[in-house]
Structure 1
Amino acid sequence: MATTRRGRPPGGPERWNALVQAAYRCLAEGGFERLRMRDVAAQVGIDHSSIHHHFPTKQDLVIAVVDHTTRQFWSTTPPEGSAVERLRGHLATLRQKIVGQPELHIVLRELDLRARRDPELREIIAGREEGWRNSLRTLLTDAAAAGALAPGVDPATGAELVIATVKGASLASDRADDVLELLERLLIRT
């Protein structure tokens, strides 16, 4: 945690980011059961009443964590290359993230589970996932137009398959390489 010269916790945007990081760590380490505003504030070195200046409610803090985690996926698809090369690059990056950043996927799965019981969070997560879904549909549509998509794969269904497979593979990170490699072989005509 960054501190000022007097040893005080950072203020402004730095404090906001520190609180989001602390909440992210709480979710990664113990799920929603361990996410307490008081504990998040303590990790940052502020009084628990001060956290409400940045996040009036726990839900506001959770939404900030959703944004923090989903932002880490914004540039996972290479901007150049054929649709197949870009899809392969995207899946390779996702494999690396699942294996190299397991806490990221733990937090995402915690958020997904919570969203099943929380309509507001479900809507927020669905909105954040829509960009990924649209990007995948476009990649798969372009691959199909180039004759590179496996026969019978509908781009919209293929996009849902990728999303579901990535989420599932993130729960068993020791098998993520094999699972996503198989997914690639199922989607792309060789």
Structure 2
Amino acid sequence: MSRKKFLSSIIDKCDNYPIIFTTGYTCREAYNIRDAANHFYMVGSMGMASSIGVGLALNINKPVIVVDGDGSLLMNPSNLFMAATLDTKNLIHIVLDNGSYDSTGGQPTIANDFNFEKIAKSIGYERAITVNKLNEFEAIIENELLDLSGPVLISVKISNEKTHPGGRIELSLEQIYKRFNEFVVNM
């Protein structure tokens, strides 16, 4: 399955909740699928999407969705420990795993040497699931949005096909922050 299909589903299913998209092609493709005020695009901060997600999850009582990539999560895996240790019951951490640093030229990651599901479970995530079918993912995300007994990690195996994510994000960092902050405050 393609990243675009999973991103489209995430955007549709989570449109009432804050979503933090990791840097690179993931945030660019999300922006080009459908830009919205509930989207926080991590422009230029690889490995930090889950840090923002954990901080937000500690401060609101609604689901917080983090859309990470395998390369980005491997850049800063300590965020898994932070999410598991702190009270982030409302954190839904989605890892789109294509086994490559797609945004920087498609170099392979070391994700094949790691099982994100097993790692998350072993450090204290309430649930960790690996999926590769869209219908499986959609059933899980719908349930997790109602459950809020996480943190939960959903590792999504996506294809490594070379697709263009669309144009760059045409919002300034300040615009992204202000719009997202207003969305969160008014939820």
- TM-score, normalisation: structure 1: 0.27
RCO (CA 8 Å, sep 6+): is it higher in 1 or 2? 2
Greater C-alpha Rg:
1
- TM-score, normalisation: structure 2: 0.27
- Greater share of helix: 1
- Greater share of strand: 2
